Structures are given as structure tokens and as C-alpha cells.
């Protein structure tokens, strides 16, 4: 599932392609037909992201809520849209650009109360100005769940997935299995600040890199990481490989149906 930086990149891209212009909207697949008809020809006023949720704004206080989930994919291009193929839930176009959405977990038309309800159930997004880190920690400090699970809980921190949570905890030297209520209060703000910086860098770069300058392939004289996820990381999907800092083999375990990665030395 795409992490929050990807959704922020999509929002920026969609503003660039469509904002301030009327948009033709359709649903070749048919599953968003009623919503598409309600929006067709309206002005696209903007796009924003909150965590892993993408919101398309139209005139008249109409909003399309998109959640890509595990299988959702957005493609776009210049000129006239191609002949539809596959399961296109949502198609947008103007005279210069087109966009297709396939396979999302959610694609729904919301009124203002619906948008308010959606945002109310999400935690603060580190990528948004003024995000309330104190509110997030208040929930964490009351929980017996592992801190890594809490960081991925979208009702607590919106936008962080396994990669960001795993890597931020490594960089902070925090055992990912630490119960939220056992997290020292003075460790939270540095962790939040670093998480926000990692996510912001990923928005710019278009990929997740978490290693510090002294641990890059160039600095260490090692081969770049080869993985479909891309990016240079400390522990994510590096099971059994030596920690880039201490040399201890990276451990992997299961946590709530997800794989968990950490260095038992650096995060002891």
C-alpha cells in the first residue's frame, strides 16, 4: 500500500494537471457512474492529501475521496485519453490531460459533513503544517500495543506505513516492540520530527531513503540496495543482512500479520 508521501505527490500532480479548469468525469467500469455524472463538467478546484487518503475538490463543495489501498493505481497522460481498458473506476480529462484510477479501496463522492467525518477518524499527518504531534502521543501513551503498530495506526498517525515506522524507530534507537505506554515522553518529539523529515524528503525524491550520509553506498563503498521498493534503508526487508551501523544481522518477526524488522543491538 502506498505510504503518505505518495499520496501527497499525487495531490500535487493532480492540482497541476486539473486545478482551475472544468473536467470531464466518467466511470468506464460503471462502479462510480452516479458520482461521475454528478461531477462531469464541473470546475476542479484542487486536490489535497491527508495520510493515505486523497481528496479531489470540485465546485459546489463536492469532494471525491480516494483510498488506493493495496491494489489501487493512478495513471495520467497528455492529450486525449486512450481507449479504456481494464477496470477504470474513475476517468478525468480536460483538453490537455487525462487521468485513470483503477482498483481503489475507496472512490466515493462526499459532501462537507462526509469529509469532516473522514478527517475526524484520522490522526495528524506529519506532512501537514500544524499537525498535532501532542494529540498523537496522548493516544500512544495510553496504549499497551507496540509502538511500531501505533505508528502505523492511521487513527493515530496518518500516512506512516511499515517502511517509515520501521526506519524511524531504527534511527531513534527504539525497540519497535516497546509498548506505547512505556515510550519516554522526551523521546516522542525527536521521533515525530525525524519521521516528518523522512516523509518530506520522500515527497521530493519520489522514493524512501532513510540512511544518513555516512551510511550511503558511496560513503560505505557498498553496492546500492536492489529491491522493488527502491531506496536505501537500514532494516526494512534486510533480514539477515548486517546492520549498516553495528554489523548485527537484521531480525525479522511477525506482528499482526505484518513483517517487522529491527536491529537487536542498535534498538535494544
Catalytic residue among 3, 62, 81, 171: 3
Catalytic residue among 28, 52, 81, 102: 52
Q: Which three cell numbers stand for residue 261?
A: 524488522
Contact between 163 and 3 under an 8 Å Cβ cutoff? The reply is yes
52 is catalytic: yes
93 bridge partner residues = 24, 98
Catalytic residue among 13, 225, 237, 258: 258
Q: Which residue has the cell 461531477?
A: 39
DSSP characters for 58-114? ETTTEEEEEE-TTT-EEEEEESSPPPP-S-EEEEEE-SSEEEEEES-SEEEEE-HHH
22 bridge partner residues = 43
- Of the candidates 121, 172, 182, 176, the one whose C-alpha atom is nearest the C-alpha of residue 148 is 176
Rounded to 10 deg, the angle between the 162-172 and 185-205 helix axes is 130
Contact between 99 and 76 under an 8 Å Cβ cutoff? The reply is yes
3 is catalytic: yes
| Cα–Cα distances in angstroms (integers) from residue 164 to residues 54, 62, 92, 117, 156, in the given order | 19, 32, 31, 26, 14
Catalytic residue among 2, 124, 126, 176: 2
Give the catalytic positions in this structure.
2-3, 52, 258
Amino acid at each position: 500500500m502506498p505510504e503518505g508521501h505518495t499520496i501527497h505527490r499525487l495531490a500535487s500532480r493532480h492540482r497541476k494537471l486539473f486545478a482551475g479548469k472544468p473536467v470531464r468525469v466518467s466511470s468506464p467500469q460503471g462502479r462510480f457512474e452516479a458520482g461521475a455524472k454528478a461531477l462531469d463538467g464541473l470546475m476542479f478546484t484542487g486536490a489535497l492529501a491527508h495520510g493515505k487518503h486523497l481528496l479531489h475538490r470540485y465546485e459546489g463543495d463536492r469532494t471525491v475521496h480516494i483510498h488506493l489501498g493495496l491494489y489501487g493505481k493512478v495513471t495520467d497522460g497528455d492529450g486525449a485519453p486512450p481507449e479504456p481498458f481494464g477496470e477504470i473506476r474513475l476517468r478525468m480529462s480536460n483538453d490537455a490531460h487525462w487521468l485513470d484510477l483503477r482498483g481503489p479501496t475507496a472512490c466515493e463522492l462526499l459532501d462537507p459533513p462526509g469529509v469532516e467525518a473522514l478527517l475526524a477518524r484520522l490522526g495528524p499527518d506529519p506532512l501537514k503544517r500544524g499537525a498535532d504531534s501532542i494529540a498523537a502521543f496522548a493516544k500512544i501513551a495510553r496504549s499497551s500495543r507496540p509502538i511500531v503498530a501505533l505508528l502505523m495506526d492511521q487513527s493515530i498517525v496518518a500516512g506512516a506505513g511499515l517502511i517509515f515506522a520501521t526506519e524511524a524507530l531504527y534511527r531513534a534507537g527504539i525497540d519497535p516492540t516497546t509498548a506505547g505506554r512505556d515510550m519516554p515522553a522526551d523521546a516522542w518529539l525527536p521521533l515525530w520530527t525525524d519521521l516528518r523529515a523522512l516523509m518530506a524528503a520522500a515527497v521530493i525524491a519520489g522514493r524512501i531513503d532513510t540512511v544518513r550520509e555516512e551510511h550511503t553506498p558511496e560513503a560505505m563503498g557498498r553496492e546500492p540496495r536492489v529491491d522493488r521498493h527502491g531506496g536505501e534503508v537500514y532494516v526494512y526487508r534486510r533480514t539477515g543482512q548486517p546492520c549498516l551501523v553495528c554489523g548485527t544481522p537484521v531480525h525479522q518477526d511477525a506482528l499482526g500479520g505484518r513483517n517487522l524488522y529491527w536491529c537487536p543491538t542498535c534498538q535494544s
